[in-house]
Structure 1
Amino acid sequence: MKNIQTPRLILRQWQDSDTAPFIQMCADDDVMRYFLKKLNAAEATAFMQHMRDAIETRGWGLYAVELKATGEFIGFIGLHIHPPEFEIADAPEIGWRLLPQYWHQGYATEGAKAVLKHAFRNLRLDKIISFTACLNTPSERVMQRIGMDKVRKFDHPLVPDDHPLHRHVLYEIHRSDFVHHTFC
């Protein structure tokens, strides 16, 4: 896999040195606020291995992100494929998760724009989706900033009906729309 670089970030394959900060991120109350539960160390390590394997197999996936200036691991940004039984996911999903000290600095938007560019220009994907709980307005704002369009709201099939995170919002962007955005 070739790294994806932006002015401030390197999106790359996972390394063993990412394990400790990734476990910390998956156990952080603020980071995991819009998920059903935090991940323990074993779950986080298994998830990281799954992301590493996906990149190794396909050549793309949810990339580890480091700051160019310091080499620090700050989270992940990339593409994910859901199982076919998850009907809402009819295309790869773009997603991101960063350690809290790196929020509100434009890193998610910067990295996500680079991933979209790679997805449409190099991988020649036709469509990318993204979704999150309706309560997760910070992620929804990133979706808007990277040029995605809101498609609809839906009830997440894996979230209990009475849970505050049950209602989700779905966004998408097509390759044909992407080329019209000025950030290309």
Structure 2
Amino acid sequence: METARLLLRRWQDSDREPFAALNGDPETLVYFPSTLSREQSDAFVDRIESVFEARGYGLWALEVKETGEFIGFTGLSPMPEGVPGSGGTEIGWRLARHAWHHGYATEAARAALDVAFGGAGLPEIWSMTAVLNTPSQAVMRRIGLTEVARFSHPRVPAGSPVRPHVTYHRANPAFAGGS
């Protein structure tokens, strides 16, 4: 899948090293409870690929078309249990710090939303992040999602500053009015 500046594609072995560097950077994962080791990062890629196999879509690796550089992911994944929207599909992203503030997350999220509502025909889409993560919340609003709930994330340790989370939602307009 392509946008004006990005290629959204399946994962390649060559993505694992830069993805591990992204996941090991405390500044990039400032809104997460902890960074990931190389083994945890690789296991995450394996889970992403298993979702693709099961659903036909997932979290696409993001590549800048002009340079071929891997910069992170954007895509669709199952919402975890115990959170508002559980059982639904989440739109999410994670970009390397040097790729922030270029509009890549919004550009790629719009493409993923087109797949969610068009190709996959999902009735709705969810997204969540730490309350402190105002940049991601801005992306959620730019792609038409609305805040629907605030909660304490059950998989984030009590007392963590990133435990308070917010969930955003958008219904597929094709499903409006019960059609």
| TM-score computed with the length of structure 1 as normaliser | 0.90
RMSD between superposed Cα atoms in Å: 1.6
Q: Contact 1:147–1:178 (CA<8 Å) still a contact in 2?
A: no
Query: Helix, strand or coil for the counterpart of 1:43?
Result: helix
The residue correspondences of 1:58-137 to structure 2 (distance < 5 A) are 58-83=55-80, 85-88=81-84, 89-137=86-134
Query: Partner of 2:138 in structure 1?
Result: 141
| TM-score computed with the length of structure 2 as normaliser | 0.93
Unpaired segments ≥5 residues, structure 2: none
For the residues of structure 2 that align with 1:10 and 1:116, how far apart are their CA atoms?
A: 15
For the residues of structure 1 that align with 2:122 and 2:60, how far apart are their CA atoms?
A: 17
Identity of aligned residues (%): 46
Query: Partner of 2:165 in structure 1?
Result: 168
Of 2, 6, 13, the match for 2:3: 6
Q: Which runs of 4+ in 1 moved over 3 A?
A: none
For the residues of structure 2 that align with 1:128 and 1:177, how far apart are their CA atoms?
A: 13
Q: Contact 2:83–2:153 (CA<8 Å) still a contact in 1?
A: no
Shift of 1:57: 2.5
Q: Contact 1:133–1:168 (CA<8 Å) still a contact in 2?
A: yes
Shift of 1:49: 1.2
Q: Deviations over 1:130-150 (max 9, x none)?
A: 011100101111101111011
Q: Does 1:54 align with 2:51?
A: yes
Shift of 1:164: 1.0
Query: Helix, strand or coil for the counterpart of 1:5?
Result: coil
Q: Deviations over 1:61-106 (max 9, x none)?
A: 11101011111111000011134x3342241011000011110000
Unpaired segments ≥5 residues, structure 1: 180-184
Q: Contact 1:10–1:65 (CA<8 Å) still a contact in 2?
A: yes
For the residues of structure 1 that align with 2:39 and 2:167, how far apart are their CA atoms?
A: 30
